[in-house]
Amino acid sequence: MTFLTQVVPPRLPTAPTEYERRFHDQHSDVLRLYFNQLNGSVNALIGVRGGQYLNIPYGAFQDDTDQTDGSIAVAYYMRFNTTDYSNGVSVTSHTASFTASIATTTLTVSAVASGSILPSMQISGTGVTAGTRIVRQITGTAGSTGTYEISVSQTVASTAMTGDLPSKMTVVQSGLYNLQFSAQFINTTNDVQEISIWFRKNGTDIANSNSEFGIKQRKSTGTASRLIAAMNFFVELQANDYVEIMWRVSNSGVSLEQFPAVTASGTTPAIPATPSVIATLSFVSAPPP
């Protein structure tokens, strides 16, 4: 790997009391060497391939699980379980710790020790079925004690539980960032459905960030229609800020779907797996003045 030469300010010689040509020649030589080094570094940086020396923040993330919207009245978080690349941008989680019991698909929370319970959050604890997620809150204080609908029917006596939702793309350096994503949706209903996708910054919806997508009715019984929703958005972030992708559909028959890799056969080439969501967050510029 090639690096730019780090230019260090020169230590100039001390001038004599009286004029001395040798001192001025030495002084000029030191400055000439310094400016030559500085000029070389600047030219390398802004030259044809100067970008090879730049080290700017970026992150690339994806998720290889299905993401199901269980309620049309709830905003869901796109989540990420895989980091492809990370340099000053990483995925962090909403977390919660609470005491609760489960009867069929109803989670009853009696106490919350920390955090907030959110839709899309995966919960775990003694006896809790792996992969169980929060669908929506039914009663109680938002994100706290009350009852919640969950994704898997089961029976669990009151016990300590935790929740995890890896949805926050978090930056360590202030700046203007470009957020890009693609999301693989399917529709299993007999009607055209609508999808809303927008962004949140530090838990607050970003004004004018929503996009509306339409997805066709299913092709046939057992064959869903498909749609890739994709866009990019500039967002200004301070150090330790985070941004999230939110989604809502007009019918719970629409969901984010992952597809496994396809093995080559006589009529089909090998095809890589299809993540349910792919997102990148890249530094563009220093914060606007």
Q: How far apart are CA 182 and CA 286, in angstroms?
A: 26
Print pLDDT tens along the chain (289 aa): 456 667 788 888 788 888 888 888 888 888 888 888 888 777 777 766 666 777 899 999 999 999 998 788 899 999 999 999 999 999 999 999 999 999 999 999 999 999 999 999 999 999 999 999 999 999 999 999 999 999 999 999 999 999 999 999 999 999 999 999 999 999 999 999 999 999 999 999 999 999 999 999 999 998 999 999 999 999 999 999 999 999 999 999 999 999 999 999 988 899 999 999 999 999 999 988 8
Any bridge partners for residue 237, and if so which? Answer: 175
Identify the CA nearest to 169 among candidates 240, 90, 232. 90
Query: 58-87+172-285 has which fold?
Result: Jelly Rolls (2.60.120)
pLDDT on residue 4: 63
Q: Quick check: 145 and 118 in contact, CB under 8 A?
A: no
Report how far apart, in Å, the C-alpha atoms of 279 and of each of 77, 83, 89, 197 are: 13, 10, 12, 13
Q: What are phi and psi of 272, to 5 degrees?
A: -65, 165
Would you list the domain boundaries of the chain? 21-52, 58-87+172-285, 92-166
pTM of the model: 0.85
List, in sequence order, every residue forming a beta bridge with 148; answer none if it has no partner: 107, 137
> Phi and psi (nearest 5°) for 74?
-120, 140
Q: What are 177's strand-pairing partners?
A: 235, 283
